[in-house]
Structure 1
Amino acid sequence: MKFAGYNESMGWPADMQIRVAASPDALLELLWLRHYGVGQAEPGLPAADLPDDPVRTEDEFLVTAWEAFWDRALEHLRMVHELDPGAVSSRPDLWEVPRATELAERLRLEPGEPVRSWAKRLHANPSAEFAAGEALRSAWESGLRVVIDVPMRGEFAAKVGESTMLVSAASRANPFSYGRALIGYVRGM
């Protein structure tokens, strides 16, 4: 998203560009599996914005496995967004997105169509960046180039690499929360 036409009036640099991306399928799949199969994995993450309450499991193996898949997915995301597109195309190890297929099988859940249906219902707030104002400019000056909107119910933000931040849809929808997340990015979270 380039802020052409708004830069001068908002006090933003003319070359300021921030890309806002929807959650990659691999993250949506993991959030769905967490909600319907694992529940309490990564307690710092808010629940996914899905119907029903998240399940709970006492199986530590499942919780640990989910957390390992989440870490791998975030590392893949970081690497893809930190490299320029030409570099990604020359790295076959980055072509394959980590999937939690084994975990889904162990949970006896099939995320395919339910996750695709959920993804179709997600809508990012296109005006969130304009409402964030000065905090967005500060984050851009600190290196932020990509914001990934993650469908979670509560406030959440995490820096993923030097130029990428995950932020919950709930945080992005609230200018105060989004501003706080962007300032967190500036301060290194």
Structure 2
Amino acid sequence: MLQPSLVKNDKKAKIFIWIVSLVVFAAVAFLAKFKLNFNPGFNVHVFAKFNAIINSAVTILLIAALVAVKQKNYILHKKLMLTAIFFSSLFLVSYICHHLLAGDTKFGDINHDGILSEDEKSAAGILRIIYYFILITHIPLAAIILPFILFTAYRSLIGEYEKHKKLARITWPIWIYVSITGVVVYLFISPYYN
């Protein structure tokens, strides 16, 4: 096993993790309601494409990290997981930028008027139901995953590997589901970007 990278201080760690998690959740929830009337001079949906690329990379990193830990290559596992956390942080910044600059896009809104007519709903068909099912499962899991990720990483960094392993059994499946469905949501909604 690896030597701990941090000195254990559960009280400070808990406060830090909960504050970061609540601030991020509040920022995403609050900023999702606003759209800046600002033209940056480029297609703002590049952020959404970047988010899909990041989510794809995080998915690959999570799978590679699982393989590494199964092979008892703990140093590689740690590097892959810290990289996944770094990429997820980049994702968060890009996600907020996209929503601030692009606003909301409705699935099936072919003419980009922000109103979904009966013809547009009909044209979207069953894909609309599939999209919303995936989105409805993706959003709450994406909202709750951050403290799980941070607590799981903290347990590892202080050398509490059994607690880390126990938490990772919850964190890893949720995190990979959120990463994969993030890409799927992008693939579904991107044809309706204007």
TM-score interval (norm. to shorter): under 0.3
Higher strand share: 1
TM-score (normalised: structure 2): 0.26
Q: Which has the higher contact order (CA 8 A, sep 6+)?
A: 2
